[in-house]
Structures are given as structure tokens and as C-alpha cells.
């Protein structure tokens, strides 16, 4: 840094210090009525060294999630609140239409007991349940990992297979296609039914649709949020019988109507009528 650079830096430091001092003074004058705003240093998407996340433009990454380093996420996938994907010492690859649900952790291995260097690979249309832990493992297309399950280094969950909630899958275990494994350590329980296999695909589709709603909500401005609050209050207590007596027809604003694919019962009622 040259002489001019040091001078500019010093002036900037003085200005910031003055601002902080004025903020403290103002807070003291306000006393118990003050509202202190804390600066959040959280970054949803973060490079580490030369490693940069590669995320398709239509992926939903929740504001409180963290995607760090060498992470690739395909279109239609979603990373939910509180989840951490840390691709620092190796890479993480997530295909299309998969969902990593709230508070889950996905990490990788540079080295382990078996001497293998292992990334984490998650295929297409995979559901990873809340608070699951995936470490240096592979989950193939249309597989399902239940809530709170842990997959250790070298685990392979084949297509159309399921790991039960709370299960611990030991290192280098391979779960064959079409099987349900549960327990600690996880063991074969039974074969998946056709209905359960269809459910896995439907679960992925449901989360693709739900992610679009959350993405839209998170992108709204303060004014849009306040307007919707006012509209909800206005239409929350309407009496349809009273309105019909007065000949009043109230149409719910489109902003307050969720898509049919989020409320499947609504779609069924429409068909019934």
C-alpha cells in the first residue's frame, strides 16, 4: 500500500470510528427506548481460497443456509434454512431437483482411515431430510435419506433406496437399490414398495414447488409484505352469508392465493365441483 493508499485508509478509519462513537452517544441519549441493530456477517454463498460455488440460477438457497467453496448445484434444487454445504477440502455435487432440508450438514473428506479422497455426490430428485449429516458419501438419483440420519465416509445409497430417520450408516456401506435400511448401525429392514418409490419422486416434486414459493416470499420488498398483511387482515374475517345478503362479491387478491401444487386438497375440491 502506497502513501496515498495509507492516507485514504486512515481517513476512512477515522470516519468509521466517528460514526461508531455517534451511534453509541445516540443510544445512550435514547436510553431504554433505543433499538440496537446488529450487523450480521453471515454470507449465504461464500468462496474459500480459489474455490467458488457454482449454483444454477433457479436454485433456492435459504437466507440462513451456507454454501461454501467447491459446491455445484443443479437446476430446481433447494437448500433449506440452516443447512451447511462445505466444499473446502473436496467437492460437493448436487444434481437437479434435489432438496437438502433444514439444518442438514454436507461435508467432504480429504483423507480418512481407508486412505480415500472422497467428495460428496448427491444425484437428481433426491430428498435429504431435516438435520441429516452426509460426509464424503454418494446418494444416487431418487433416493431418500430420512430426518436426522448420518451417512459416513464411503457410503453409497443406490437409486430408489431409503435410509430411515435417525439411522447411522457406517463407513463404506452400500445400500442396494430398492431397499430400506434403518438403525444404528443401519441394517437391511425390507424392500421398498412401489408406492414408496413413487413417494420419493413426489417428495422431490413437492419441494421443487415449495422452494418457488419460499424464493418468491424471500424476494419481496418491505412495502409488498406490508400490503399483503393489510390484505390478509381485510379478508380474514369476511362472512360469506352476510355478503350474499348484501349482494357483495369479494374476490381474494391473487397475491394471497397459493398455487394448487402447494395446496393439493384445493385442487381436488376444484375437480370435485
Look at 245 and 96; give whichever has higher pLDDT. Answer: 96
Please check whether residue 163 is in contact with residue 145, taking contact to mean a CB–CB distance below 8 angstroms. Answer: yes
pTM for the whole thing? Answer: 0.74
Percent of the chain with pLDDT over 90: 59
Look at 242 and 50; give whichever has higher pLDDT. Answer: 50
Look at 269 and 113; give whichever has higher pLDDT. Answer: 113
Model confidence at 236: pLDDT above 80 = no
Percent of the chain with pLDDT over 70: 82
**65 pLDDT band (50/70/90 cuts)?**
very high
Q: Closest Cα to residue 143, out of 174, 166, 122?
A: 122
List the chain domain ranges: 45-195
Q: pLDDT tens for residues 137-184?
A: 999 999 999 999 999 999 999 999 999 999 999 999 999 999 999 999
Fold of domain 45-195: UDP N-Acetylglucosamine Acyltransferase; domain 1 (2.160.10)
Rounded Cα gap, residues 71 and 87, in angstroms: 6
**224-250 burial, b if ≥16 CB within 10 A, otherwise e?**
eeeeeeeeeeeeeeeeeeeeeeeeeee
Cβ neighbour number for residue 20 with a 10 Å cutoff: 10
Model confidence at 232: pLDDT above 60 = yes
Q: pLDDT tens for residues 78-130?
A: 999 999 999 999 999 999 999 999 999 999 998 766 667 799 999 999 999 99
**267 pLDDT band (50/70/90 cuts)?**
very low
**41 pLDDT band (50/70/90 cuts)?**
confident
Amino acid at each position: 500500500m502506497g502513501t496515498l493508499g495509507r492516507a485514504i485508509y486512515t481517513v476512512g478509519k477515522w470516519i468509521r470510528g466517528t460514526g461508531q462513537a455517534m451511534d453509541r452517544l445516540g443510544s445512550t441519549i435514547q436510553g431504554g427506548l433505543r433499538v440496537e441493530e446488529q450487523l450480521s456477517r453471515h454470507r449465504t454463498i461464500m468462496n474459500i481460497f480459489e474455490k467458488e460455488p457454482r449454483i444454477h440460477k433457479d436454485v433456492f438457497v435459504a437466507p440462513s443456509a451456507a454454501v461454501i467453496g467447491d459446491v455445484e448445484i443443479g437446476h430446481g434444487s433447494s437448500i433449506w434454512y440452516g443447512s451447511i454445504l462445505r466444499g473446502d477440502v473436496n467437492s460437493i455435487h448436487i444434481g437437479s431437483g434435489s432438496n437438502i432440508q433444514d439444518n442438514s450438514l454436507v461435508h467432504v473428506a480429504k483423507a480418512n482411515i481407508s486412505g480415500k479422497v472422497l467428495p460428496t455426490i448427491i444425484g437428481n430428485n433426491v430428498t435429504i431430510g431435516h438435520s441429516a449429516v452426509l460426509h464424503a458419501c454418494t446418494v444416487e438419483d431418487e433416493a431418500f435419506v430420512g430426518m436426522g440420519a448420518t451417512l459416513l465416509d464411503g457410503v453409497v445409497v443406490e437409486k430408489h433406496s431409503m435410509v430411515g430417520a435417525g439411522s447411522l450408516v457406517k463407513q463404506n456401506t452400500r445400500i442396494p437399490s430398492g431397499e430400506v435400511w434403518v438403525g444404528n448401525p443401519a441394517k437391511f429392514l425390507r424392500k421398498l414398495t412401489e408406492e414408496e418409490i413413487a413417494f420419493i419422486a413426489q417428495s422431490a416434486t413437492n419441494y421443487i414447488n415449495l422452494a418457488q414459493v419460499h424464493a418468491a416470499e424471500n424476494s419481496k420488498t418491505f412495502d409488498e409484505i406490508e400490503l399483503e398483511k393489510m390484505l390478509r387482515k381485510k379478508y380474514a374475517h369476511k362472512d360469506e352469508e352476510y355478503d350474499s345478503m348484501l349482494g357483495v362479491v369479494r374476490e381474494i387478491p391473487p397475491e394471497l392465493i397459493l398455487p394448487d401444487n402447494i395446496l393439493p386438497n384445493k385442487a381436488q375440491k376444484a375437480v370435485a365441483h
